[in-house]
Amino acid sequence: MNKLRITSITSVAVMLLSLTGLAISPAGAAVDRTGKTCVQEGRVVNSGGVTYTCAYTKSGLVYSQGRKLSGSLTVVCGAMENWCAAMTKAFTKKTGVETKFVRLSSGETVARLNAAKANPEFGVWHGGPADGFGVARLDGLIEKYESPTRHMIPAKYQDTDGYWTGVYVGALGFCSNKKELARLGVPVPKSWADLLNPKLKGQISSAHPSTSGTAFTTLWTQVTRLGGVEPGMAYMKKLHNNILQYTKSGTAPGQIAGRGEVAVGIIFSHDCVAYREQGLPLTVSFPSEGTGYEIGGVALVKGAKNPEAAKAYIDFTLSAEAQNLGPTVASYQVLTNPRAKLDRRMVTLKKLTIVDYDFGKASAAKKALTTRFDAEIAVAPKV
């Protein structure tokens, strides 16, 4: 009996020793895997405490630059709660870096990053809008980081100077309540002109362009497609007659339409799809004259406490593997990585007419346009 125990203890000890030996031996001969070919995107190998991730870099599917990952990471996330949760959880699982998030709107993020400039609490800003990154860059809140997988992303979905990179794209669309449209005897709107139908008076909901990036996209889309500020504002003025009220939040018009308070809400189509999936009687359509879009991006926070982990997280968000998590948590934005899977609930951008949206120009014009909107349109009587 005793003998048996001793034998078992010895064998366990031997096993343990051999295990440590196994763990130690690669460290003794740590191999730099950078640039070595690999077979499956997203696969992670650890060699000598350095993590190498298999990624599509400029030289094909290879292990990208190794990183010594440790500690924890806090992400400030601008997308839907479960999207943020899925992304951070997957990253933790992959790398062992304990990753948490706080969900904030872009204005709140900029305010908080500014408040804690000297002592940043976040490492990465994930899911923020292009204009938010623009402001953050001007305020010196984000840092340039060009991920090895960045070249995969179409150039128009990323900052030319490398401050941020797009992870998803959302197209502006019409979110209509079928029941209300039927009640009013109006067909599903297919163009910006359709929205001016007098039968839709007080039946359209849009957010206010000062409060909501969505609504500003609507405004700038008019300016772009009609070829100038004046005709753009003129359209908004006509549309004003049919607007019930301007909401503060960008997604609210979809919910208001869903509850039948209005017939049509102007929002990003993926939000409308998400509401429809929740059981609201909604249908999505797009304007034939052309529509605008938003980019949700990812950026490195300046002075991030754990820059290696933050950079690894950004690399991860650009991979098809990470982006494919979107539809699993009811986020149906178009993914920027061309290798990411297309979900049938996503819109195919190629099938839409997209206006030539200039984010730089739009940001520069924002203040003047929203002030004019406030003074000339929002207060105008409805005719």
Partner 1 sequence: MKLDLITRIVLVCTIAVLALLIIFPLTNILITATHENGRAVFSSIFSSPVTRQIIKNTVLLGSTVGVLGTLIGFLLAYAQTRLEFRGKKILHIISLIPLISPPFAFATAVIVLFGRSGIITRDLLGLSPVLYGYPGLVIVLTTSFFPVAYMNLLGMMRSLDPSLDEAAASLGSSKSKVFVKITFPMLIPGIASSFLLLFVESIADLANPLVIGGDFTVLSSRAYIAINGEYDVAAGAAYSVVLLVPGLLVFLLQRYWAQRKNVVSVTGKPSGRVRNIESKGAKFFLLSIPFAMSSLIIMVYVTVLIGGFVKVLGVNNEFTLDHFSYIFSGIGNDAIIKTTLLALIATPIAGILGMILAWLIVRKIRRGRELMDFLGMLGIAVPGTVLGIGYAVTFNHTTKLGEFSLIPQLAGGGAIFGGALAIIMVYTIRSSPAGQRSGIAALQQIDPAIDEASASLGASGVVTFKKVTLPLIRGALLTGLMFAFARSMTTLSPIIFITTPDTPIMTSKILSEVDAGRFGNAFAFCTILIVLVSLAMSAINLLVRGRSIESLSNPLN
Identify the three-state secondary structure at position 44: strand
**Site size for partner 1 (CB under 8 A):** 64
Q: How far from chain centre, in Å, is Cα 67?
A: 25
Instruction: Return all residues near 193 (Cβ < 8 A) that are at least 6 apart.
Output: 289
CB of 274 to partner 1, least distance (A): 6
Closest CA to 205 of 172, 269, 254, 238: 254
Q: How far is Cα 30 from Cα 320, in angstroms, rounded to an integer? A: 29
CB of 45 within 8 A of CB of 33?
A: yes
Q: Which residues pair with 169 in a beta bridge?
A: 295, 334
Q: Which of residues 57-76 bind partner 1 (CB under 8 A)?
A: 74
CB of 110 to partner 1, least distance (A): 5
Residue 60 φ/ψ region, left for φ over 0, alpha for ψ in the -120 to 50 degree band, beta for the rest: left
Candidate ranges 50-58, 189-197, 269-277, 347-355; the one touching partner 1 (CB under 8 A): 269-277
Closest CA to 319 of 107, 150, 108: 150
A 10 A CB-CB count for 225 gives 20
The single residue among 50, 62, 80, 362 that binds partner 1, judged by CB under 8 A, is 80
CB of 367 to partner 1, least distance (A): 7
> Is 107 near partner 1 (CB under 8 A)?
yes
Nearer CB in complex with partner 1: 261/343: 261
> Is 333 near partner 1 (CB under 8 A)?
no
CB of 124 to partner 1, least distance (A): 13
CB of 266 to partner 1, least distance (A): 16
Provide the binding-site residues for partner 1, judged by CB under 8 A.
74, 80-82, 85, 100-108, 110-112, 114-116, 118-119, 121-122, 132, 135, 180, 202, 208, 210-213, 244-249, 251-252, 254-255, 258-262, 271, 274-275, 278-281, 305, 330, 366-367, 370, 374-375, 378-379
